[in-house]
Structure 1
């Protein structure tokens, strides 16, 4: 498991059930201390909705555009967040466990102390996001987009990163040595200080049109 120290979500052991009323979320709605499970949240569009000390378990999000959403001390357990629009979100002390986050859009978001564990996140977007104290552990992030993102104390552990986009993102201190990929979108300047394995060296050589002589 991750060697990076993360602040875990601060959630009470006993939680009441939160029942979401039919209808639409309203701007600046807030939900505190409870569990939302075994349901579908569908066709919602609102901004600055906040969730604090909440567990989502086996919840499917469909047709969701909730910009500037806030999650603090939240756990997503076996949820499907594919293609949700969470642009400019603020997310603190949150865990995504065994979730589908395919195409999730977190453009311009701020993430702190986040664990992505065993998630399917192909085509997820973190463009121009600010990520600090983040662990991606055994996640599929093929074709994900970290264009011009700010990465601090971030770990990719045993992840799939085929054709992930890192253009404009400084990878100094980022360890990719346990990840699998044959192609990345990245510049030589961005790679300075990046940690890779010996086996990955040939991948980067080919990326920049250099030929190795046997």
Structure 2
């Protein structure tokens, strides 16, 4: 899908003209470490934990994170492409101008995270955990969000395009103005107040009518 079809204004990450090659290893993953102005590629990291790390103006390509915990992480102008972030713990992270492209993000933990101008494009984010996240100007495009958890989240100028939200949980999240018409939302978990002002197509409206106890023939 072409970027011009995205309605939500989201700035792309901003990078320096010349980026250094960064060798990321366990020695780099320590509390309050700053990684900046570089490219990290073809890297495998396993069983590391740190808090308050910062990645600024960094491109990551084909990086695999396995059993990594990076709580209170700060990502500013960062691009993840073809990376595996499955089950990584990014809880309470701050993301500003970040993009995830063709990434595997099954079970990623972004609970209580703050997302500003973030794009997810063609990502496998099944079971992703966004509970209590604060999202403004965020786009999910052609993503698998099956059983993802957005409970108690703040969604402002958040766009879902051609994404699979089957059995995603969005209870206690205000969905006013969210357009689901291009998505599969079968079995989505919501409360009646949550869907006031949501944008759906006719078939989706029939599915959501179950919340009102209606039987549509």
**In 1: Cα distance, 2:10 partner to 2:137 partner:** 6
**In 2: Cα distance, 1:199 partner to 1:170 partner:** 21
Q: What's the offset of the Cα at 1:169?
A: 0.2
The aligned residue for residue 156 of structure 2 is 152
Match of 1:18 among 7, 16, 22: 22
The aligned residue for residue 124 of structure 1 is 128
Uncovered stretches (5+) of structure 2, i.e. residues with no partner: none
Counterpart contact for 2:192–2:211, Cα < 8 Å: no
**In 2: Cα distance, 1:159 partner to 1:22 partner:** 35
Q: What's the offset of the Cα at 1:107?
A: 0.5
Match of 1:41 among 33, 42, 45: 45
Match of 1:52 among 42, 53, 56: 56
Q: What's the offset of the Cα at 1:207?
A: 4.3
The aligned residue for residue 169 of structure 2 is 165
Counterpart contact for 2:179–2:199, Cα < 8 Å: yes
TM-score computed with the length of structure 1 as normaliser: 0.96
Task: Output one character per residue of 1:21-48: Cα deviation in whole Å (capped at 9) or x when no partner.
Answer: 4446211000110000001121111100
Counterpart contact for 2:65–2:84, Cα < 8 Å: yes
In structure 2, the CA distance between the partners of 1:21 and 1:82, relative to structure 1 (3 Å rule), is closer
* RMSD, matched Cα: 1.1
Is 1:62 matched with 2:63?
Answer: no
Give runs of aligned pairs for residues 202-213 of structure 1, distance below 5 A: 202-213=206-217
In structure 2, the CA distance between the partners of 1:23 and 1:121, relative to structure 1 (3 Å rule), is same
Is 1:190 matched with 2:194?
Answer: yes
Counterpart contact for 2:25–2:45, Cα < 8 Å: no
Give runs of aligned pairs for residues 74-93 of structure 1, distance below 5 A: 74-93=78-97
Corresponding pairs, count: 213
In structure 2, the CA distance between the partners of 1:24 and 1:6, relative to structure 1 (3 Å rule), is closer
